[in-house]
Amino acid sequence: MRVMRGVLALVMVLLAGTAMAADRMRMAVTTSFENSGLAEVMLPEVLKDLDLEVQLLVVGTGQAIRLGEAGDVDAVLVHSRPAEEAFVANGHARHRTQIMYNDFVLIGPAGDPAGIAGAGSAAAAMSDIAAAGAPFVSRGDESGTHKAELALWQAAGIDAAARNPSWYRAAGAGMGATLNVASGMAAYVLADRASWLNFANKGDLALLFAGDPAMFNQYAYLPVNPALHPHVNAAAAEALEAWLLSDRAQALIDGYRLNGEQLFTYNAGAD
């Protein structure tokens, strides 16, 4: 019996350690936002200004939207406009607020076997890859980046049937894992600029094509509708939105540099 009591006491002590305090909210964000490092700059400022601890769940856009729909997070910050608009249309959020954009870049082996470096547009670059049958790794996980990639294929007039598995590989993984696959296979891949700059295992890969406005990547903030999910911390989600729309957030976002490059451009409200 003494043993049992000891075990019980141990359980109590360990469970007590899980209790937490302070006003906090949960926000589902995309891997690309987390990988940029911007969160580490902004969240301490939010804590200072609003006395609010924002806990990040770093997932793909598809999962982030699901978490918002289930009411498991208080807000989502994602980058896939059709999915966001469906989210609002279904009443999961009352509105969608544009915050900022960054851009996608086409990465590939430094030797550039498909010759996309001089392409006139993103669609032309995608056509070159398909024409050459050069290996291309797709996220394949319904994330915002994956959807952006599919939009570029569509713009290039290359449909799903034409993307032969002999060169088109769907990794079904996050940005980092997909870049690891591309690095291992010396394949082309579409990535957001922030993830690429922060990626440590570049190997033979290089940035080959960027700058087409079709590759701009708009982030939007969606507070979860408290009418549908009464338990969400709507006050905190609202306070964070007001903070994101402030001059202070603009200065932080526009001023953020990674390896000397500006990553994000603030365009809140300008719809």
Partner 1 sequence: MNEILQGMARAAWLVVTLDADLVEIALRSLQVTLTAVAIASAIGLPLGALLAVSRFRHRRAAIATLNALMGLPPVVVGLVVYLLLSRSGPFGVFGLLFTPTAMIVAQVMLLTPLIASIAHQAMRDLWADYHDLLISLNASRAQRIRALIWDGRRALLTAALAGFGRGIGEVGAIMIVGGNIDHSTRVLTTAIALETAKGDFALALGLGFVLIALALAVNFAIHGLARTEAGSRW
Cβ closest to partner 1, residue 76 vs residue 156:
76
User: Taking CB under 8 A as the rule, does residue 138 contact partner 1?
Assistant: no
Sign of the dihedral defined by the CA atoms of residues 88, 92, 93, 97, in that order: negative
Cβ closest to partner 1, residue 170 vs residue 177:
177
User: Taking CB under 8 A as the rule, does residue 170 contact partner 1?
Assistant: no
* Region of 99-107, 159-167, 194-202, 261-269 interacting with partner 1 (CB under 8 A): 194-202
**Dist. CA 125–CA 117, nearest whole Å:** 8
Token duo for residue 11: 């359980």
User: Taking CB under 8 A as the rule, does residue 42 contact partner 1?
Assistant: no
Cβ closest to partner 1, residue 13 vs residue 270:
13
Instruction: Identify the residue among 2, 5, 14, 259 touching partner 1 (CB under 8 A).
Output: 14
247-255 helix and 38-50 helix, angle to the nearest 10 degrees: 160
**Dist. CA 120–CA 215, nearest whole Å:** 13
User: Taking CB under 8 A as the rule, does residue 110 contact partner 1?
Assistant: no
Q: For tokens 């989600």, what's the residue?
A: 237
Cβ closest to partner 1, residue 15 vs residue 160:
15
Cβ closest to partner 1, residue 9 vs residue 251:
9
User: Taking CB under 8 A as the rule, does residue 229 contact partner 1?
Assistant: yes
User: Taking CB under 8 A as the rule, does residue 21 contact partner 1?
Assistant: no
Query: DSSP 3-state assignment of 192?
Result: strand
Token duo for residue 40: 């580490």
Query: Which of 140, 238, 239 has its CA nearest to residue 190?
Result: 140
Query: Which of 191, 233, 166 has its CA nearest to residue 23?
Result: 233
Cβ closest to partner 1, residue 64 vs residue 268:
64
**Dist. CA 36–CA 30, nearest whole Å:** 10
Least spacing, CB of residue 83 vs partner 1, in Å: 18
Q: Are 247 and 269 in contact (CB under 8 A)?
A: no
User: Taking CB under 8 A as the rule, does residue 70 contact partner 1?
Assistant: yes
Amino acid at position 156, single letter: A
* Region of 51-59, 86-94, 129-137, 207-215 interacting with partner 1 (CB under 8 A): 51-59
- Residue 165 CB neighbour total at 10 angstroms: 7
* Region of 55-63, 162-170, 236-244, 254-262 interacting with partner 1 (CB under 8 A): 55-63
User: Taking CB under 8 A as the rule, does residue 62 contact partner 1?
Assistant: no
User: Taking CB under 8 A as the rule, does residue 198 contact partner 1?
Assistant: yes
Burial tier of 98 (Cβ tally within 10 Å: 0-12, 13-18, 19+):
middle
The footprint of partner 1 (CB under 8 A) covers: 4, 7, 10-11, 14-15, 17-18, 20, 26, 31, 35, 55-59, 69-72, 173-177, 179-180, 183, 198-202, 229, 231
